[in-house]
Copies of this chain bind each other. A is one copy, B any other.
Amino acid sequence: MDELKERILRDGQVLEGNILKVDAFLNHQVDSGLMKRVGEEFARRFARLKPDKILTAEISGIAPALQTGVALDVPVVFARKMRPITMPKDAFERHVPSRTKGGETLLLVSPEYLHPKERVVIIDDFLATGQTLNALANIVVEARAQVLAFGVVVEKTFEHGREALEDWNVPLESLVVIERMSSKKIVFR
């Protein structure tokens, strides 16, 4: 997606620890027009799979997942990272290490909104090591629903998330793929 590449080159910033800061259009400020086109692009790639639902993780997955849900006219579930008092005790949960915040992140999905046999596409902002997507996919399986595909806005190949998700044997679509990056240069595939 050329528009996204140009935007990353213009506004992205590479920070220590292989963090790509895209707070200008995705993670803190959201460019709503760009995000609409991101959702439409995911919808174009996933429509043939006929998903019933999009699953993502709060917080930064919400914008691209919601726009995909709007484009495909299906509901979007975002896994919560803190247990709200509205969450039932039998929620599906997984722990994943968090790099941008440090420590571990909890992912919680209520069985009220993820049902057996539902056809689920999992979307997130970044694919780095793949641990968040893997945890979300495990939640889908625990709900006896079906993982149809993964979609990420930005894939960083040098963190090997794609390999980590290979065993799921489902399509993995990235809107842009970064092969190398440093504070001076970002190299797309």
Q: Which residues of A contact B (CB under 8 A)?
A: 13, 15, 17, 19, 21, 23-25, 27-33, 35-36, 58-59, 62-63, 66-67, 69-70, 73-78, 80, 82, 84-87, 100-101, 109-110, 112-113
In the assembly, what is the distance between CA of A104 and CA of B32, in Å?
A: 30
State the Cβ distance, A84 to closest chain B Cβ, in Å: 5
Which one of A63, A73, A110 has the highest number of Cβ atoms from chain B below 10 Å of its Cβ? Answer: A63
In the assembly, what is the distance between CA of A100 and CA of B35, in Å?
A: 29
Q: Taking A23-B87, A30-B77, A33-B73 as given, write out 15 further A-B residue pairs in contact, using a Cβ cutoff of 8 Å, ordered by the A residue number.
A: A17-B85, A23-B86, A23-B110, A28-B113, A29-B75, A29-B76, A30-B62, A32-B74, A58-B58, A58-B59, A59-B62, A62-B62, A62-B63, A66-B66, A85-B101
Task: Across the interface, name the chain B residue whose C-beta is closest to A114.
Answer: B29
Which of B27, B66, B84, B110 makes the CB contact (< 8 A) with A86?
B27
In the assembly, what is the distance between CA of A28 and CA of B19, in Å?
A: 27
Instruction: List chain B residues, Cβ under 8 A from A17.
Output: 85
Q: What copy number does this chain have within its complex?
A: 2
State the Cβ distance, A37 to closest chain B Cβ, in Å: 10
A86 touches B21 (CB 8 A): yes
B113 touches A24 (CB 8 A): yes
In the assembly, what is the distance between CA of A21 and CA of B112, in Å?
A: 12
